Amino acid sequence: MKQTLTVDELEFDVRRSARRESLGITVDRDGSLILRLPDSTPLQEAEAFAREKRFWIYTKLAEKDMLFRPRREREYVSGEGFYYLGRSYRLKVIDSKQQKTAVPPLRFYQGRFYLRSDARQNADDHFKQWYIEHGTPKIQEIANRYHERLEVEPHSVTARSLGYRWGSCKPEGQVYIHWKSVLLPYRILEYVVVHELVHLHNQHHDDEFWRRMERAMPDYRERKQWLAEHGAEYS
């Protein structure tokens, strides 16, 4: 049964876990609040913890109000730009009736996306599939470069839809990266992947987690800040 907690005007989705040893708060990308607790934590203690964190929560919510602007609806017309690894590439819509040979609904050729005119209706799906197909090898290449340095052995590293999260890591070793991450500049995609690999050691963003991040990626703070400030442009 879903449990919620309201502190002043802040509403938290309460999630308990037998594996968790400390209290934590997550401000999700859509502004929703998640309060994570060990199974044995009384609700009164959780409420006191949330009250102590109010200033931090309001700061994060203010940042999100500033950063997450309404997204421009895609039109899928010639000349429209689409990101891949941080660069914007123009789209050209081609008349499918004039093609002498069969061509895929969407392809990338000589620095430009080509979309068949009869595929515009499902262009969202075609782009998503293209990003997953071509981005997954990039994601796995990063994981392969870092896993020994981090002393982790992920069970799998795959691209998929993750809602408002850039990445997710399961305790069993599955690492998931949002397919939209491959729109980001490569060094920021690298940060997203390494961040999730470190979660194979530390499920929580405690001090040890960030020490591991710094050992693996000394400039992670700059990459993290860039993602916080510019990530909405790519999501």
pLDDT tens per residue, range 175-201: 999 999 999 999 999 999 999 999 999
Question: Above 60 in pLDDT, residue 129?
Answer: yes
- Strand 33-38 versus strand 81-84 pairing type: unpaired
Question: Above 80 in pLDDT, residue 133?
Answer: yes
Distance (Å, whole) CA 234 – CA 159: 16
Torsion, CA 187, CA 189, CA 194, CA 196, rounded to 10: 160
pLDDT band at 71 (very low <50, low <70, confident <90, very high): low
pLDDT of res. 191? 96
Is the Cβ–Cβ distance between 105 and 126 less than 8 Å? Answer: yes
Q: Which class for 187: exposed (0-12), middle (13-18), buried (19 or more C-beta within 10 A)?
A: middle
Q: What is the pLDDT of residues 106-116, one digit of tens each?
A: 999 999 999 99
Distance (Å, whole) CA 229 – CA 227: 5
Is the Cβ–Cβ distance between 177 and 154 less than 8 Å? Answer: no
Tell me the two tokens of residue 227: 């993602």
Q: What is the pLDDT of residues 37-63, one digit of tens each?
A: 999 999 999 999 999 888 788 877 766
CA 82 to chain centroid: 18
More confident: 67 or 53: 53
More confident: 92 or 60: 92
* Helices of type H across 16-113: 43-52, 54-67
Distance (Å, whole) CA 150 – CA 22: 24
- Strand 156-160 versus strand 174-178 pairing type: parallel
Return the percentage of the chain with pLDDT > 70, whole number.
Answer: 92
Angle in degrees, 0-180, between the axes of helices 186-198 and 220-230, rounded to the nearest 10:
110
Report the candidate in 25, 59, 56, 20 with the shortest Cα–Cα distance to residue 40. Answer: 20
Question: Above 80 in pLDDT, residue 86?
Answer: yes
**Class for domain 128-233, per CATH?**
alpha beta
Report the candidate in 103, 130, 101 with the shortest Cα–Cα distance to residue 118. Answer: 103
Q: What is the pTM of this model?
A: 0.73
pLDDT of res. 159? 93
Taking the domains of the chain in order of start, what are their residue ranges?
3-67, 81-122, 128-233
Helix (H, G, I), strand (E, B) or coil at 130: helix
Tell me the two tokens of residue 187: 């060094």
